[in-house]
Structure formats: C-alpha cells, structure tokens
Amino acid sequence: MVLLVFCLSLLCLLSAGLLWVLGGRKKTEAQEQGGPRPPVPAGNTESGLPALSPALYLDLAATMLTAGLSVPAVLEQLSQLEQGRYRTELAVVVAKLYAGAHWEQAWGKSRPEGLAPVRDCLGLALETGAPSAQLVRVLADRQRRHRQRQHEKSAARLAVKLVVPLGACSLPAFICLGVIPVLIALLPTLF
C-alpha cells in the first residue's frame, strides 16, 4: 500500500516537472520564431559592466556643481564616465553651449535615455537660475525611490508567479504522502 502511494506521488511530481519543462520550451520556440524576446538586463553596457544609474549621474553632477564647476564643465566630466558611453552626444551639447546656444537647442535631437534626468534637471536649473546642486540631489533621491519601488513591484510579481509551480509540485505530493495514507489507515475502522 505504501509502495502504491509512493509511486503515485512520484508520478505526480514527474508530471508536474514535465509540464514545467514543456511550458518553458514552448516559450523558447516562440522566441526563435520571432515572438517575444526575453528582457535584456537593464543597465548592461557593451563592455559587460553594469551601467551607472541615473541617480548616480545626478549625485556626481551635484557634487561637481557644489565644487563650483559650470554646467557645461559638468557635462564634459560626465561624458568621461563609463568609458565614454555618452562622449559623442555630450561633446556636441557642450560645444553648442559654449557657442551660446540655449539648453534645448544645444541638446537638439540628441536624447540619450540614461541622461534624461540629468538633462531635465540641469536644464531647469540653468534656465531658471535655481540652486542647481540642491535640486539635482533631490532629483537623485527621487530616482532612487522610484527604482526601489520598481524592484519591490517586480519582487511581488515573482512571488505570485512562484505560487503556481510550487502548488503544482507540492500539493499532489502532500495529498499522496499525507492524506491518502491517513485515509487508508482509517478505512478498517470505518467498516
């Protein structure tokens, strides 16, 4: 009797594992046929090193502004980060700023996604005359809070996704190894 229960629970576990593997294989085949691709890890550069977060760029900019650098000089220094990742875009912007162009004209069509918070914050500070270092630090803190909320949401989604495979594997095994032996043991007392 125990051997039968053990075999049934093993069969349930194997079938759940097989369904799990086949579900993953279908996704892979769909991706090969031009379907949805797996997400690329955010922040990877060509060198394989993780990219700096926009909040860190903002902190560095705030520190340089506090030290007395001008906004174009700050952009020059930021262009040297990450092995010159934004060197070409920022060189054009700095050259236009030194030539007397307005902030929006200097950026033109160049809109590097990683520098959007820096562009927006420094532009606001430059055009309004607001104390730029404090403004940049506040925006850096806001960027960090936003990123932390995104990580918390993705962790919550992961917990929900893990419930189904855990239930598919554990529940049949619990029933076969925990409930059925108790029912079998109670059968002689019922009759």
> Tokens at residue 27, please?
């996704």
Please list, in sequence order, all residues whose beta carbon lies within 8 angstroms of the beta carbon of residue 83, skipping any fewer than 6 positions away: 45, 47
Contact in structure between 66 and 133 (CB atoms under 8 Å): yes
| pLDDT for residue 167 | 81
| pLDDT for residue 54 | 82
> Tokens at residue 122, please?
């420094």
Mean pLDDT per 10-residue section of the chain, whose length is 191 residues: 65 69 56 47 52 84 88 89 85 90 85 80 79 84 92 91 82 86 86 72
| pLDDT for residue 39 | 42
Length of the chain: 191
> Tokens at residue 19, please?
């369904």
